[in-house]
A and B are shown apart, each in its own frame.
Chain A
Amino acid sequence: AQSVTQLDSQVPVFEEAPVELRCNYSSSVSVYLFWYVQYPNQGLQLLLKYLSGSTLVKGINGFEAEFNKSQTSFHLRKPSVHISDTAEYFCAVSGRFSGGYNKLIFGAGTRLAVHP
């Protein structure tokens, strides 16, 4: 079965420090990978996605992620975080399971807390 594991439930970091949020997935088929951000009491907003091509993907708000097929990972990074980056971050995968790229399978989320 397909699954997504976010290795850290919470990541505290000081403002302007770099951060990495880790994501590993399990799938026997080709996948698309996504990172979403969720601010309190809001829906999910897409940060970035990997479909094919370059394994380094750049997204909004200065975030980037690297797809590593051999390690089945898709870690999210930002070189310098701001207080406003405090939120819940979700890694998700879709693939040719259940008949097609028809649903997203999410990890449990990582809460990023940026401190001044």
Chain B
Amino acid sequence: DTGVSQNPRHKITKRGQNVTFRCDPISEHNRLYWYRQTLGQGPEFLTYFQNEAQLEKSRLLSDRFSAERPKGSFSTLEIQRTEQGDSAMYLCASSWIQGHGNEQFFGPGTRLTVL
């Protein structure tokens, strides 16, 4: 068990470009979450999956954002037509549905900078 991994760790892009991030959860975990963390703030919930089903999306997740989890394994988060306000750390977490109190294990994050 190598924990939650995220790629890339850093991404610099120009405004208007599309970006995609990948998250590989802990292998036996069936829940996967995406959070966004801006400078000086705590993480904010974006969306979560149970297996391959996306069960909840925050209103923070605009139409430019889309997340998928095909086959209930890894997940991708795509941002289309990036804006400078999208600059943030994007964190992925996973948990086991019957785990204690929905304990979530976090990956190292992908830091996005939109120029």
0/1 string, A44-56, CB within 8 A of B gives 1 = 1110010100000
Given contacts A46-B104, A102-B55, A106-B44, 4 further A-B pairs with CB under 8 A are A36-B106, A44-B93, A44-B106, A51-B101
Are the CB atoms of A44 and B43 closer together than 8 Å?
yes
Are the CB atoms of A101 and B101 closer together than 8 Å?
yes
* Shortest beta-carbon distance from A49 to chain B in Å: 6
Q: Which residues of B contact A90 (CB under 8 A)?
A: 42-43
Q: How far is the CA of A70 from the CA of B84 in the complex (A)?
A: 42
Are the CB atoms of A32 and B102 closer together than 8 Å?
yes
* Shortest beta-carbon distance from A116 to chain B in Å: 25
Residues of A within 8 A of B (CB): 4, 32, 34, 36, 41-46, 49, 51, 90, 92, 94, 98-99, 101-109
* Shortest beta-carbon distance from B75 to chain A in Å: 15
A43: contacting residue among B91, B102, B103, CB under 8 A: B91
Are the CB atoms of A43 and B42 closer together than 8 Å?
no
0/1 string, B79-100, CB within 8 A of A gives 1 = 0000000000001010000001
Are the CB atoms of B91 and A44 closer together than 8 Å?
yes
Task: Tell whether A43 pairs with B107 under 8 Å between CB atoms, given A103-B33, A104-B45.
Answer: yes
